[in-house]
Amino acid sequence: MSADFLYGIEVIINGLMAGVLYALVALGFVLIFKASGIFNYAQGVMALFAALTLVGVMEGQVPFSHLINAVFGTEIHHFGWEVPALLAILLTLCIMIAFAWAVQYFVFRHLVGQEPIILFMATIGLAYFLEGVGDLMWGSDIKTLALGLPQGGSMAVEEWTAGLGGDDFYGFFIDKLDMVATVVALLLVAGLVGFAQYTKQGRAMRAVADDHQAALSVGISLNFIWVLVWSLAGLVALVAGVMWGAKSGVQFSLSLIALKALPVLMLGGFTSIPGAIVGGLIIGVGEKLFEYTIGAPFLGGATENWFAYMLALIFLVFRPQGLFGERIIERV
């Protein structure tokens, strides 16, 4: 096999793994959108906030230390202990659940029945708020997430595949972290699907997604379900935040992965979990391949910024509800 062809395959594999991460973020959107009709722009900032909190808890930082120092003139910054990773993850999860409850109780409970665009705006406000709170709590410097996840290229894969090509081919370069992320994301997706299909709460969740009033009339508490989906979205955000944070450091740009998830959603349809996964894979592979074949050689690179949107835009012109979205029926 020629080296070019093999590099193409490598690009596709890397694209698939990036796509799984996109799908992971997109899942968080779909969960909330299906259950409450809220298009949650804050999903990316939730990932950032979760990762920041995890780092802060692990390192034993004092929350709001900058603010406290500025107001009272003190000099505190760390408690002086370190929390083991597993415990820190559990604590962070508790914080995300508390956050889910607070969001439901203070904001969206009051906005039930508003137009979707108003709800969308509220989540943008929420994103600003959460970003500010995250910075205030833990400081805005770039942090490294030391969870002990494997880093760097995998030598085993490289050696194992080196024999496929000629002398100028050294095997596939695949990041270990990407492989871990792919496995974790697949497990999480399987877990979520299982939860939605086979548990009582999961069924209640799907019932709410289908029809609010019918769900209410059989005795399902909408408030509880909404807190539940926000908590699940928090969990997804935590996992996405950990994976992306381990890859490129915990910093503001982490919240921009939410923007990356939007074309995934458009492609897959806002209301479909399989759509989010397939859309994520298509976008991941598509943008890597486009960059490799056309973007870098002919257009000067960095096409990843917009290619996904253009792909989704062109696709939508032919199929406005996305790949797996519910058919849009309009009546006067």
Partner 1 sequence: MFYREAGDFKTSYEADSQTFPIAFDRYRYWAVLAIAFLVIPFVINDYWVNAIFVPFLIYAIAAIGLNILTGYCGQVSLGTGGFMAVGAYACYKLMTGFPDVSIVIHIILAGGITAAVGAAFGLPSLRIKGFYLAVATLAAQFFLVWLFNKVSWFYNYSASGQINAPERFVAGVAVTGPNTAPWAQYMICLVFLTVCALLARNLTRGTIGRSWMAIRDMDIAAEIIGVNPLKAKLTAFAVSSFFIGISGALFFAVYLGAVEVGEAFGIQKSFLVLFMIIIGGLGSIFGSFAGAAFLVVLPVALKVIGVDWLDWPTDLVAHLQLVIVGALIMFFLIKEPHGLAQLWRVTKEKLRLWPFPY
Q: Which chain residues interact with partner 1 by CB under 8 A?
A: 39, 66-67, 70, 107, 110-111, 114-118, 120-122, 124-133, 135-136, 140, 259, 262-263, 265-266, 270, 299-303, 305-306, 309-310, 312-313, 316-317, 320-322, 328, 330-332
Q: Which two tokens stand for residue 98?
A: 């508390």
Whichever of 6 and 265 has its CB closer to partner 1, that residue is 265
Cα–Cα distance measured from residue 218 to residue 134, given in angstroms and rounded to the nearest whole number: 39
Considering the complex, what minimum distance in angstroms separates the CB of residue 168 from partner 1? Answer: 31
Identify any residues that bridge with 54 across adjacent strands, giving them in sequence order. none
Considering the complex, what minimum distance in angstroms separates the CB of residue 86 from partner 1? Answer: 30
Q: Which two tokens stand for residue 306?
A: 């917009």
Cα–Cα distance measured from residue 47 to residue 312, given in angstroms and rounded to the nearest whole number: 23
Question: Which residue reads 């505190």 in tokens?
Answer: 76
Considering the complex, what minimum distance in angstroms separates the CB of residue 67 from partner 1? Answer: 7
Whichever of 125 and 297 has its CB closer to partner 1, that residue is 125
Whichever of 38 and 204 has its CB closer to partner 1, that residue is 38
Cα–Cα distance measured from residue 196 to residue 194, given in angstroms and rounded to the nearest whole number: 5
Whichever of 178 and 291 has its CB closer to partner 1, that residue is 291
Whichever of 218 and 317 has its CB closer to partner 1, that residue is 317
CA 38 remoteness from chain centre? 16
10 Å Cβ neighbour count for 99?
21
Which of 311, 316, 326, 255 is closest to 280 using CA atoms? 311
Please, which residues have CB within 8 angstroms of residue 11's CB and are 6 or more apart in sequence?
Answer: 288, 289, 292
Considering the complex, what minimum distance in angstroms separates the CB of residue 128 from partner 1? Answer: 3
Considering the complex, what minimum distance in angstroms separates the CB of residue 75 from partner 1? Answer: 14
Considering the complex, what minimum distance in angstroms separates the CB of residue 133 from partner 1? Answer: 6
Check: CB of residue 286 under 8 Å from CB of residue 15: yes
Considering the complex, what minimum distance in angstroms separates the CB of residue 309 from partner 1? Answer: 3
CA 140 remoteness from chain centre? 20
Whichever of 59 and 304 has its CB closer to partner 1, that residue is 304
Check: CB of residue 40 under 8 Å from CB of residue 25: no
Whichever of 7 and 129 has its CB closer to partner 1, that residue is 129
